[in-house]
Amino acid sequence: MSVNWFLTRTRASAPRARLICLPYAGASAAVYRMWPDHMPTGIEILPVQLAGRGWRLREAPTADLARTAGEVALAIAALGDVPFAIFGHSMGSWLGLEVVRRLEVLGRAPVCLFASGRQAPRAGCTQPPMSHLDDAAFVEEVQTRYGGIPPELLKEREMLALLLPALRADIAALERYERVPEPVATPIHAMVGATDPVVPAELISGWAEETTGAFTMRTFRGGHFYFQPDARPLLSVLTETLERELADVVRGANAPEMEVA
């Protein structure tokens, strides 16, 4: 069965670059649906829809980050030769790193990875496991740590029941994740909210160990979901950084080859 992996409002006919966006735990591709409104012409936003949410709600979610990364990498590689970057928030950061690892093997590496709102993989999960809790305790713990479930959704018990399997699978995937010690070559740009109660800024700097390429770190005003409700400060930084990375790729491609006698 063919799977539609990407949310597209209006597909650009000939984008010069793409930003592939990976969701946080339990989220659908729709959390990035408004981002195209704030991006320059020519940069296409492609949010990834994982199994168990949105139009893929009837598919069983996967509690295996490595397996999901392999599937996402193949879907991205099939898009063609347009340069692209990957953005992942929270769970999406660890997933993004593993997607990058597989894309490098396929010869389709992104120009950079934006790792947002998640501690460096070496730190592991810094909170006690919770994927085993019953629904009521699980939802309460998610809200205590992240506050990521909208109040209106908490009141809609039937809708919440539909979304919980994906959220529980994502949390389980994070709890089972085993860091790969070999760094990627792709540049990594890490970012975090200054008042994130779960991910302190000092745990972000460790992302430098995950790449042999360039590394930067940036702190934004706000908590774990620092880019909600206004994503414009983040998108401005993403655009500026992506443009710089694209320029570096062009300069590298146009550099003269060294002659060896």
Instruction: Tell me if 196 is assigned to some domain.
Output: yes
For the chain, report the end-to-end CA distance as a whole number of angstroms. 54
Contacts of 184 (CB under 8 A, 6+ apart): 97, 100, 101, 104, 109, 113, 210, 211, 212, 213
Q: How many domains does the chain have?
A: 1
Rg for the chain, CA atoms, rounded: 18
Strands 113-116 and 84-89: parallel
Q: Is residue 47 part of a domain?
A: yes
Nearest to 56, CA basis, from 27, 78, 76, 80: 27
Q: Is residue 104 part of a domain?
A: yes
Residue 212 in any domain: the answer is yes
pTM, two decimals, is: 0.92
Residues 197/223, Cβ–Cβ less than 8 Å: yes
Query: Residue 218: inside a domain, yes or no?
Result: yes
Q: What percent of the chain has pLDDT over 90?
A: 77
How far is it, in rounded angstroms, from Cα 65 to Cα 79? 21
* Residues ≥6 apart with Cβ < 8 Å to 253: none
Report the range of poorest mean pLDDT among 1-15, 144-158, 174-188, 247-261.
247-261
* Nearest CA among 105, 98, 106, 112 for reference residue 18: 112
Domain extent, residue 50, equals 17-250
Position 49 in a domain: yes
CATH code of the domain in which 91 resides: 3.40.50.1820
Residue 93 lies in a domain: yes
**Is 259 among the domain residues?**
no
pLDDT digits (tens, 9 = 90+) for 65-118: 999 999 999 999 999 889 999 999 999 999 999 999 999 999 999 999 999 999
pLDDT at 213 (0 to 100): 97
Mean model confidence pLDDT for the chain: 91
In this structure, the number of other CB atoms found within 10 A of the CB of residue 253 comes to 7
Chain centroid, CA 137 distance in Å: 27
